[in-house]
């Protein structure tokens, strides 16, 4: 009989709710929210808690060379491939309770529910907590390592500095060489499914229960430096200035206008502006801007990059400045796998839940995993769209819906893949 025949299998809501509450307490502070940055004591504590809960459910556990923590429900057939279900237990500083952690717990709950139901699936299931998704060290470090795409270049200059990286890895019981042993053979993977909070207001505004992620945005970033002339702010006439600050201000507005007018669905942000020398009575001789832009498709991202750099050059000409544009990063957009999207849609439909397709504007482990295996993501609503903040909140009902959708999608994929 097909696994998805009669009434859909659902999770143990009481167990899930109790675990969500216990997990959310680890690293939580009333003053500044969730403090579970990678390598912190609270981060280590929640990961130990996760493995303890997995063992208590009779699941096998494993920690790989990148510190990724897993609960495993093995298929009877030793040649069976593995479907990964998960996200990350680390948080940003002063973050919320749901970002990442919900997806790891939902993965664990799927394994427990399948085991409780006595189902023997044709694929192994693995609930995984990836190391350092949020980027205290590098960003999606664990998924890069598992995908076999971690480079020694990236490890040579981590955001946190070499010393913090090496001592942190040692405390985690691994090393730089260990990171490279975490790579998995893609042939052994059936796919990756990630349940996550939306982190934006779209689902709540639309009154929809489940978001089916069509793809994860790519991004480009630039440092743009305008150089003019720092001169006396009282004696230099308005028509004799080379004011770098004016180019910065004009560029900020133009970037917004251009994206709004010509790049539907894209976003761009000037996140930082620094003027030098920075005084009441000196015309800014230097303006340094940090700009980031995101798009769903590679060609769109390229056109957007070109448009931004052209706007910067035009402002330099307008205000008689020199301009230096440095590209500081590019992440390709990653579409999700159509079979994964279909499995999520079918699962939600069987549960009577409303769905909408949507892109993810935020980066996720699924973006990395999509490079090596069929990957999909489902979103649940974020109240007021707040995330990376202590007020981040998704209702228990929404979290349970997400967990049930993940369970149903897993069963559908077990039949299909």
The CA distance from 36 to 43, in Å, is: 5
Residues near Zn ion (CB under 5 A) are 99-100
Nearer to Zn ion, 100 or 139 (CB): 100
Shortest distance, CB of residue 244 to Zn ion, whole angstroms? 37
Of 99 and 109, which CB lies nearer to Zn ion in the complex structure?
Answer: 99
| HEC profile of the chain | CCCCCCCCCCCCHHHHHHHHHHHHHCCEECCCEECCCCCCHHHHHHHHHHHHHHHHCCCEEEECCCCCEEEEECCCCCCCCEEEEEECCCCCCCECCCCCHHHHHHHHHHHHHHHHCCCCCCCEEEEEECCCCCCCCCCCHHHHHHCCCCCHHHHHCCCCCHHHHHHHHHHCCCCHHHHHCCCCCHHHEEEEEEEEECCCCHHHHHCCCEEEEEEECEEEEEEEEEECCCCECCCCCHHHCCCHHHHHHHHHHHHHHHHHHHCCCCEEEEEEEEEECCCCCECCCEEEEEEEEEECCHHHHHHHHHHHHHHHHHHHHHCCCEEEEEEEEEECCEECCHHHHHHHHHHHHHCCCCEEEEEECCCCHHHHHCCCCCEEEEEECCHHHCCCCCCCCCCHHHHHHHHHHHHHHHHHHHHHC
Minimum distance of Zn ion from residue 98's CB (angstroms): 9
Nearer to Zn ion, 39 or 130 (CB): 130
By beta-carbon proximity to Zn ion, the closer residue of 196 and 241 is: 196
**Of the two residues 193 and 283, which places its CB atom closer to Zn ion in the complex?**
193
Which one, 99 or 300, has the nearer CB to Zn ion?
Answer: 99
Element (H, E) at 300: helix 298-318
Tokens of 307: 């448009």
Smallest separation, CB 161 to Zn ion (Å): 23
Shortest Å, Cβ 416 to Zn ion: 27
Nearer to Zn ion among residue 100 and residue 333 (C-beta): 100
Q: For residues 86 and 158, which CB has a smaller minimum distance to Zn ion in the complex? A: 86
CA distance 19 to 357: 29
Q: Which is nearer to Zn ion, 143 or 315 (CB)?
A: 143
Considering the complex, what minimum distance in angstroms separates the CB of residue 354 from Zn ion?
23
Shortest CB 133 distance to Zn ion, Å: 6
CB-nearest residue to Zn ion? 100
Min CB(148)–Zn ion separation in Å: 22
CA distance 167 to 301: 37
Beta carbon of residue 315, minimum distance to Zn ion (angstroms, whole number)? 35
CB of 172 to Zn ion, least distance (A): 19
Taking a C-beta distance cutoff of 8 angstroms, is the pair 222, 365 a contact?
no
Written as six digits, the tokens of 21 are 């509450």
Nearer to Zn ion, 123 or 358 (CB): 358
Q: Whole-number minimum distance, CB 105 to Zn ion, in Å?
A: 13
């Amino acid at each position: 009989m097909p696994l998805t025949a009669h009434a859909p299998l659902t999770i143990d809501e009481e167990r899930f709710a109790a675990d969500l509450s216990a997990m959310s307490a680890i690293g939580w502070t009333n003053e500044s929210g969730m403090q579970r940055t990678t390598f912190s004591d609270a981060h280590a504590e929640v990961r130990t808690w996760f493995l303890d809960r997995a063992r208590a459910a009779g699941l096998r556990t494993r920690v790989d060379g990148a510190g990724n923590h897993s609960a495993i429900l093995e298929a009877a057939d030793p040649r069976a491939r593995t479907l990964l279900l998960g996200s990350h237990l680390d948080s940003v500083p002063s973050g919320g309770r749901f970002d990442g952690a919900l997806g790891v717990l939902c993965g664990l709950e799927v394994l427990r529910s399948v085991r409780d139901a006595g189902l023997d699936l044709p694929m192994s299931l693995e609930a995984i907590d990836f190391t350092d998704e949020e980027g205290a060290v590098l960003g999606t470090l664990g998924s890069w390592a598992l995908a076999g795409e971690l480079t020694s270049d990236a490890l040579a200059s981590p955001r946190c500095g070499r010393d913090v990286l090496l001592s942190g890895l040692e405390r985690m019981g691994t090393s730089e060489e260990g990171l490279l042993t975490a790579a998995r053979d893609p042939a052994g993977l059936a796919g990756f499914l990630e349940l996550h909070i939306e982190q934006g207001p779209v689902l709540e505004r639309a009154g929809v229960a489940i978001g089916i992620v069509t793809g994860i945005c790519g991004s480009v970033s630039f440092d743009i430096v305008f150089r003019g002339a720092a001169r006396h702010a009282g004696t230099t006439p308005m028509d004799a200035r080379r004011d770098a600050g004016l180019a910065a201000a004009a560029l900020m507005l133009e970037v917004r206008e251009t994206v709004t007018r010509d790049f539907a669905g894209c976003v761009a942000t000037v996140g930082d502006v620094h003027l030098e020398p920075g005084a009441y009575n000196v015309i800014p001789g230097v303006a340094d801007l940090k700009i980031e832009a995101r798009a769903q498709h590679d060609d769109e991202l390229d056109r957007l990059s070109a448009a931004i750099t052209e706007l910067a050059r035009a402002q330099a000409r307008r205000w008689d400045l020199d301009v230096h544009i440095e590209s500081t990063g590019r992440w390709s957009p990653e579409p999700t796998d159509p079979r994964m999207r279909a499995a999520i849609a079918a699962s939600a439909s069987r549960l009577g839940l409303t769905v909408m397709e949507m892109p993810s504007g935020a980066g996720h482990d699924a973006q990395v995993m999509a490079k090596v295996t069929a990957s999909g993501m489902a979103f649940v609503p974020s109240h007021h769209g707040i995330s990376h903040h202590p007020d981040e909140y998704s209702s228990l009902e929404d979290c349970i819906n997400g967990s049930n959708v993940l369970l149903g999608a897993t069963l559908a994929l077990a039949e299909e893949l």
